[in-house]
Amino acid sequence: MPADQTQHLSGNAIDAIQETTSRIVDAIERVIIGKREVIELTLIGVLCEGHVLLEDVPGTGKTMLARSLASALGGSFNRIQFTPDLLPTDITGALVFSPRTSEFSYRPGPIISNVLLADEINRAGPRTQSALLEAMSERQVTVDLERVSLPRPFFVIATQNPVELEGTFPLPEAQLDRFLMRTTIGYPSADDERKMLRRFRNTVPLDDIQAVTDPDTLQRLIAHIQDVHISVAVEDYLLQIIHSTRGAANIEVGASPRAALALARASQARAAMSGRGFVTPDDVRELAIPVLAHRIIPTAQADLLGKSAQETVQEVVDNTHVPTEPVDAR
């Protein structure tokens, strides 16, 4: 094994992460057919204790993905349907006065869960959207100066419809930056859709999913992710991609330092899921678009040319030299 690919994790830890995540993915694939890559990206978000934004048209399985993930993880699941009249306390909960005790007590909101589905998040007003910011970044909510810790792990899957934009409130950059990744499920292939029709003709998909792990076990696996080794060469490669977004001709605002941390952590999770205790350039390349595309702002000229943020990030990655020779890991 090259010097810069020394495993900092024990073989048992790597095996546990790979085996558990593989079983989770297999369980979810019984419901979400033909979308293994999206499932793995979502699970990377869980291992990083990050959050995932799904942008897709209705009916592609966003809600089903969130519910099946919660079932496979063995944790609690809540769903919030975002609407223009939704209030922040509808998410966080509120202090309720009890005539019996003459005291206020906290009544938990749906945010108190392991997996939270924020459905059509862009249909709520900015004030309500911001109620998620503290929870997503600090894993706590504050209700009338009372701080309430969220259960661990805590994971948000938010969805929005990129087609129907009338009556919606675009997510501000500060909130977009709280999402580890943004991705899409997309339509299934013809063969996968045929399998779906036949498999679920007389059954309820979620009935087939059994818990693969539990929150306590998952939290122990999450703690190992930060120990996955990143060599100096791979670290330089990652930073070069980040810095290139800040000087690219088609990018007005490049990736932030938080984006660099997110890309590094996601790469560590992908490596562990692949059974490795070290990150490779391929880990960084494969995750650059879902981690970075929603964190940059293309120029007006790029918009006029019809060039998406994903295409712009891909250009940066393609133009960045990939390290081929390992260096000493120090």
| Residues 78-91: tens digit of each pLDDT | 999 998 889 888 99
Tokens describing residue 191: 């063969």
pTM for the model stands at: 0.87
Mean pLDDT score across all residues of the chain? 86
Question: In angstroms, rounded to a whole number, what is the distance separating the alpha carbons of residues 84 and 117?
Answer: 17
SS3 label, residue 93 = strand
- Domain boundaries along the sequence of the chain: 12-225, 228-330
Asked if the domains at 12-225 and 228-330 fall in one CATH topology, the answer is: no
Express each pLDDT in 33-76 by its tens digit: 889 999 999 999 999 988 999 988 877 888 888 889 989 998 88
> Phi first, then psi: what are they for 243, rounded to 5°?
-65, -30
The CATH class for the domain spanning 12-225 reads alpha beta
pLDDT at position 290: 95
142-179 burial: b if 16+ Cβ within 10 Å, else e: ebeeeebebeebbbbbbbbbeeeeeebbebeeebebbb
Q: How confident is the model at residue 326 (pLDDT cuts 50, 70, 90)?
A: low
169 vs 69: CA distance, rounded Å:
27
- Over residues 12-23, mean pLDDT: 91
- Strands (E) in the chain, as ranges, are 52-55, 77-81, 93-98, 103-108, 115-119, 140-143, 146-149, 155-160, 181-183, 251-253, 297-298
Instruction: Spell out the residues 6+ positions from residue 138 whose beta carbon is closer than 8 angstroms to its own.
Output: none
Q: Which two tokens stand for residue 164?
A: 């129907």
In the numeric block, the tokens 């339509």 are attached to 187
- Name the architecture of domain 228-330: Orthogonal Bundle (1.10)
Determine if the peptide bond prior to 126 is cis (ω within 30°).
no
Residue 8, pLDDT above cutoff 70: no
For range 210-231, the mean pLDDT? 92
Side chain identity at 67, as an amino acid letter?
R
